[in-house]
Structure 1
Amino acid sequence: MLILIALIAAIFLFVVVPGFLSQILTHGGFNYPDPNNGKAPISYGLKSRWAEFKSSDGITLRGWYIPSDGPARGTIIYCHGLNRSKVEMLPRAQFGHQLGYNGLLFDLRHHGQSGGKVTSLGYYERLDVLGAVRYALEVEKAERPIILWGVSMGAVASLMAAADSPDVSAVISDSAFLSLADTVRHHWKLLIHLPAFPIADETLYAIGWRAGFPPGDLDSEKAVEHIGLRPILFVAAQGDRRMPPAIAEELYSHAQSPSKKLVILPGTRHGEGFNQARDAYELAVKDFLTQVKAR
């Protein structure tokens, strides 16, 4: 009887739990209204027009294009985090607009008002970002430089897209993870208080299988290396237990640009630096953008 109980427990722990978690992460219902539903660019005093375009693999994406009031200094594409929507990025877009930039905010696949049935935590979302870059340049005729500003999953997608696109001049990466493997193992230990091996590896495999990509290829560190000499601003929250500052420091160490920057915001949590330490955040972004040139 004890052997049977142990066997059932092992199956539950090593098969059912990773399978369930991977299902939630990749196929969870992220198309529900944002907690800030009802807010739009006009809520922040911004004039906008509806934007609808395709990702590089044909998914319909929807959002807002916010032109600058005068001659634009460039164009910022804003990328939200997991289980969020374009609404999350509106305060940042308001700041970018104040600095004289065009803005493009959109829902990543399987989020908000965009299409798609699967979330890949950044892997296929990079194709969404590439579609946004193409839309900004070809449809809106947006001014360069093109800057990607992403939070959490959106930061990972931005880094990976920049590695693939020479049209991107710079990236603002807020709370990105190091790699999918690293973050899955870290979250197992942090949230479930269990040894990462072998459960994390089972979860990693299940995520890749459900979303249809090699999990080892979702790697921000490699993307940073491929971005080369283009500048990156890494933002980390000092109180972030999910993506602690050490991750941003590691990514920063792999960036090759002499204009790379790292800012760690005290008294802030994961992805909340802009809301909780806005003055310091805005100062870092403003200083960083002065060094970004069109490609």
Structure 2
Amino acid sequence: MSTTTLNPVTGSLQPTLDQVITQPFLRRKRLITTILLALLLTCTSIMLIFHAYIAWNLARPNIEPLHSNPMKAVRLPYTDVSFPSQNGKALLNGWFIPAVGSSKTVIFSHGYGGNREELWVPLYTLARELHKKQYNVLMFDYGYVNTNSTRLMTGGVQESKELLGAIDYIKQSTGGSIYIWGFSMGAGTALQTALQQKGDISGMILDSTFLLNSDTLYQNINQIVHLPKYPSLPLVRLFFPLLNGVSLQDVPYTKVTTTSYEMPIFMIHGTNDNKAPHVLVEAMFKHQHNSASKLWILPNAQHELLYRAEPKTYVSRTLDFLSSIEPPAASEHVNAGIPSSL
């Protein structure tokens, strides 16, 4: 059937009634289809950009500037120090607080989003308590804290090399026993560091241990913005290495959580930790075979707020742990060489 007719006056073809009806409909249909495709493309682009933004920001946490120093905060003399990471990719800055006549040192390993003073822990107070017990203290910033650096947060991959650099610095400057006291991701970094060296770490205290993997990543993202696990988690995992140069797969999560470490470890965690579930630490502790290792789960305590939950007990139990694992020779040296009043 013909879709056009011949105009008897002009002799030209003219649309039939069917064409007059259907052509506007087809135009509207094409327009609606175009609009829907544009909306779909826009929404997809926004979703991709949003998840790329999350991945970008994870590696670039906002760090508060230093507010004080050991002398101003707790009247402890200190020295500004700098040292390279073990792989030479970063120069780290920190404070060394000496204890006269002592060769035993505690290195603080701060958490994600913090710096060497991490006020909410609070590190100054713990440094003072350690100083009373004749421990040297090293407080330093991981490389991503330096705003003048291009270093990004890597979930412990590069940070473990920086902690190894701190250990090397203490070995060369004071020698003696070295203990790591880590907080949150700084505790997870300490465990990654312990996988890479033998014998240099005499013991570790791990407060609110956080290890970056897919589950903990999603759990922490979901506290900031409620997103479905899929496709959000796969998209962040996709963008993270593309934008930051390191993959979540580079974090040796399984090895860290299943290794029996040679040195004694004191694991401390709260049941109300919404960033790193306490069941993870309890499972890790089951793999520890050093008889001096300890586990302390604080009821209702939150992430990195364990000291504030029970200040006196926290100090006494952590310092008692350090004292219990000190080599006998080191204890005799301190007792013989340091006046009891200090």
| Bucket of the pairwise TM-score, normalised by the shorter protein | 0.7 to 0.9
Deviation at 1:29, TM superposition (A): 4.5
The answer on whether the counterparts of 1:108 and 1:114 sit within 8 Å (CA) in structure 2 is no
Deviation at 1:106, TM superposition (A): 0.3
For residue 94 of structure 2, what is the amino acid of its counterpart? G
For residue 184 of structure 1, what is the amino acid of its counterpart? L
Q: Structure 1 residues 268, 120: CA separation in 2 closer, same or farther (over 3 Å shift)?
A: same
Deviation at 1:55, TM superposition (A): 0.7
Deviation at 1:287, TM superposition (A): 2.9
Match of 1:60 in 2: 91
Match of 1:150 in 2: 182
Deviation at 1:115, TM superposition (A): 4.3
Task: After superposition, give the CA deviation of every residue in 1:164-217 in whole Å (9 maximum; x if it has no partner).
Answer: 122112221111224422211222444433232231122123223333223123
Decide which of 85, 97, 100 is 1:69's aligned counterpart: 100
The answer on whether the counterparts of 2:240 and 2:247 sit within 8 Å (CA) in structure 1 is no
Q: Is 1:92 matched with 2:126?
A: yes
For residue 44 of structure 1, what is the amino acid of its counterpart? V
Paired with 1:33 and 1:134, the residues of 2 have a C-alpha distance of 26
Match of 1:243 in 2: 276
For residue 124 of structure 1, what is the amino acid of its counterpart? Q
Deviation at 1:4, TM superposition (A): 4.2
Deviation at 1:247, TM superposition (A): 2.4
Give ranges in structure 1 of 5+ residues lacking alignment.
Answer: none
Paired with 1:247 and 1:41, the residues of 2 have a C-alpha distance of 37
Match of 2:163 in 1: 129
Q: State the secondary structure of the residue aligned to 1:250.
A: helix
The answer on whether the counterparts of 1:79 and 1:154 sit within 8 Å (CA) in structure 2 is yes
For residue 322 of structure 2, what is the amino acid of its counterpart? L
For residue 16 of structure 1, what is the amino acid of its counterpart? I
Could you tell which deviates more after superposition, 242-251 or 105-114?
A: 105-114
The answer on whether the counterparts of 1:48 and 1:67 sit within 8 Å (CA) in structure 2 is yes
Instruction: Name the Cα RMSD after superposition.
Output: 2.4
Q: State the secondary structure of the residue aligned to 1:230.
A: coil
Match of 1:9 in 2: 43
For residue 130 of structure 1, what is the amino acid of its counterpart? L
Decide which of 170, 178, 193 is 1:161's aligned counterpart: 193
Q: Structure 1 residues 79, 196: CA separation in 2 closer, same or farther (over 3 Å shift)?
A: same
Task: After superposition, give the CA deviation of every residue in 1:10-68 in whole Å (9 maximum; x if it has no partner).
Answer: 4433x2122101111213443x414xx02334421212111110012321111111111
Q: State the secondary structure of the residue aligned to 1:148.
A: strand
Task: After superposition, give the CA deviation of every residue in 1:264-290 in whole Å (9 maximum; x if it has no partner).
Answer: 223432112123321222132123213
Q: Structure 1 residues 205, 254: CA separation in 2 closer, same or farther (over 3 Å shift)?
A: farther
Q: Is 1:103 matched with 2:137?
A: yes
Deviation at 1:249, TM superposition (A): 1.4
The answer on whether the counterparts of 1:163 and 1:224 sit within 8 Å (CA) in structure 2 is no
Match of 1:231 in 2: 264
Q: Structure 1 residues 51, 224: CA separation in 2 closer, same or farther (over 3 Å shift)?
A: farther
Paired with 1:65 and 1:117, the residues of 2 have a C-alpha distance of 23
For residue 50 of structure 1, what is the amino acid of its counterpart? D
Paired with 2:146 and 2:321, the residues of 1 have a C-alpha distance of 30
Q: What's the TM-score once normalised by structure 2's chain length?
A: 0.76
Q: What's the TM-score once normalised by structure 1's chain length?
A: 0.87
Decide which of 256, 262, 273 is 2:289's aligned counterpart: 256
Match of 1:289 in 2: 322
Paired with 2:293 and 2:41, the residues of 1 have a C-alpha distance of 51
The equivalences for 1:165-184 within 5 A come to 165-166=197-198, 167-184=200-217
The answer on whether the counterparts of 2:102 and 2:136 sit within 8 Å (CA) in structure 1 is no
Match of 1:24 in 2: 57
Deviation at 1:261, TM superposition (A): 1.4
Q: Is 1:276 matched with 2:321?
A: no
The equivalences for 1:191-202 within 5 A come to 191-202=224-235
Deviation at 1:113, TM superposition (A): 7.5
The answer on whether the counterparts of 1:61 and 1:108 sit within 8 Å (CA) in structure 2 is yes
Size of the aligned set, in residue pairs, is 288
For residue 194 of structure 2, what is the amino acid of its counterpart? A
Give ranges in structure 2 of 5+ residues lacking alignment.
Answer: 1-34, 331-342
Q: Structure 1 residues 191, 234: CA separation in 2 closer, same or farther (over 3 Å shift)?
A: same
The answer on whether the counterparts of 2:106 and 2:135 sit within 8 Å (CA) in structure 1 is yes
Q: Structure 1 residues 286, 161: CA separation in 2 closer, same or farther (over 3 Å shift)?
A: same
Identity of aligned residues (%): 25
